[in-house]
Amino acid sequence: MISPKNYAKANRLLPKGFKTANEFFDHVYKDKDMIWMGQNTNHLHEDTEITEAMINSIKNRDYCKYPPPEGFPELKSLILEDLGLDDGFDILITAGGTESLFLSMEGVLDPEDNVITCDPGYLIIDNFAGRFCKHVISVPIYNEDCNYKLSPELVKQNMDGDTKLVSLVDPLNPLGSSYNKDEIKEFVDISYDQDIYLFHDITYREFARKHHLMAKFAPEQSITIYSFSKIFGMAGLRIGAVIGSPKIVDSIRTVIINDLGTNLVSQKGAIAALNSKKNWLNNIKNQTRENQKIIKKAVDQVEGTFIPVYPSDGNMLAIDMYETGIKPADVAEFLLDNKIFAREGSYTSKLFGHRYLRVSFSIPKYHVEKFASCFIDAMETLQNSP
């Protein structure tokens, strides 16, 4: 008999008509008209460098060979350069931020440790941490008092002698809150004083108006999670990295699963993406920021709704609709019927998921405009339905 795992993911309510999450994702993936606002992906790239690099690699049949197991040195150096970090850091290329998260948790945690995360947040982090430590303390942060983020003060209140790691997603999925330099420095002081590791998930870094890298202030205590899925628009290519001190990365090396390396074609695309970044970055950031204003205007028209963190420093934001009495899951369903894929709050919160809908907006302007009018429609229709 195989015993059930205590960290198994909770079954979520599926949209009507789907038996499994996989079936649902296959449906949204295959529908070419679907507007993709449900997974914080980026659909704004118009460049050719990234696709050309991958097509050339495929034409050369590079993929007959295995890549270097820890990633092409060229890619490793480009990522460190992108972050402004020097050779004092070590880096592993992974199949995305997700693999980086899992490996770091296994590499750093011991069974007696506890980990501090936040709710709302990126729940798979709690899941991964829970597999390797004794207790995950998920601090409620959905309120103005803490500015909708895990503040240094909240960390102090929740840590104890067994706290080994604090997870900071910056900017935060789903709310888009981010940290200023003073807050980062306070976390750094806590980490050195208490010998706690700081997990800095910077998946949405480039969308922020300003971003401060923890690794620069706490080189020995920080672990940086890097993804090519968002600003680089390469979610389906499944590529990312984990960066830390040589000591930390050495520990992560001992738990590696994919020891024959990460997808070679994706790595070629990632190299091209970093080399061409300066050509497209501002365009994508600006378009994403302008799109956010369209959503805000629509939300302002619906009484009882508000955006807790505005402007969001990510490419997603939450729309709180608790006061209207309308359920975010019903709005998501209404939008899906109109070919707009968005996510009700329960995907990113155990405590507050009933309050908000999360939408991402690195998509063409006319798609956001369709969302804006459809959202107003949804709220009117659902308000008046029995």
Ligand X SMILES: Cc1ncc(COP(=O)(O)O)c(C=O)c1O
Smallest separation (angstroms) from ligand X to the CB of 310 = 19
Q: Give the nearest distance from C-beta 173 to ligand X in angstroms.
A: 4
Distance CA 344, CA 242 (A): 29
| In the complex, least distance from residue 117 CB atom to ligand X, rounded to whole angstroms | 11
- The residue among 305 and 348 lying less far from ligand X, judged by its C-beta, is 348
Min CB(120)–ligand X separation in Å: 11
Name the maximum alpha-carbon separation found in the chain: 63
**What number of other Cβ atoms are within 10 A of residue 292's Cβ?**
23
- Report, in Å, the least distance between residue 40 CB and ligand X: 5
CA nearest 257: which of 129, 122, 92?
A: 92
Helix axes 97-108, 123-132, angle to 10 degrees: 30
For Cα atoms 170, 136, 231, give the angle at the middle one, nearest 5 degrees.
Answer: 25
Taking CB positions, which residue lies at the least distance from ligand X?
96
CB-wise, 256 or 376, nearer to ligand X?
256
Rounded to a whole number of angstroms, the minimum distance from the CB of residue 270 to ligand X is: 11
Contact 227, 96 (CB under 8 A): yes
**Least distance (Å) between residue 386 CB and ligand X:** 36
Contact 198, 168 (CB under 8 A): yes
CA atoms within 13 A on the CB side of 186: 13
Query: For binding to ligand X (CB under 6 A), which residues are involved?
Result: 40, 96-98, 122, 169, 173, 201, 203, 227, 229, 235, 240
Give φ, ψ of 36 to 5 degrees.
-95, 90
Q: What six digits make up the tokens of 193? A: 């004083």
245 and 98 Cβ atoms separated by less than 8 Å: no
| Min CB(34)–ligand X separation in Å | 18
Chain centroid to CA 68: 27
Whose Cβ is closer to ligand X: residue 98's or residue 267's? 98
CB atoms under 10 Å from CB of 85, counted, come to 17
Q: Which is nearer to ligand X, 113 or 201 (CB)?
A: 201
CA distance 130 to 49: 40
**CB neighbour class for 86 (10 Å; exposed up to 12, middle 13-18, buried from 19):** exposed
Spatial distance between the Cα atoms of 167 and 223, rounded to a whole number of angstroms: 10
**Closer to ligand X by Cβ: residue 169 or 190:** 169
Q: Is 266 or 305 the residue whose CB approaches ligand X more closely?
A: 266
DSSP per-residue string spanning 161-183: TTEEEEEEESSPTTT-----HHH
Nearer of residues 96 and 244 to ligand X, judged by Cβ: 96
Q: What is the distance in angstroms between the CA of the first residue and the CA of the last residue of the chain?
A: 47
Under the phi-then-psi rule, with left for phi > 0, alpha for psi from -120 to 50, and beta for the rest, what region is 261?
A: left
Closest distance of CB 97 from ligand X, Å: 3
The least CB distance from residue 154 to ligand X, in Å, is: 18
Measured from the CB atom, is 200 or 285 closer to ligand X? 200
**Given 3-state DSSP classes, what are the helix, strand and coil percentages for the chain, each rounded to the nearest 5?**
45, 15, 40
Comparing CB distances to ligand X, the nearer of 57 and 348 is 348
Cβ-based nearer residue to ligand X, 205 or 355: 205
| Residue 99: both structure tokens together | 């693999």
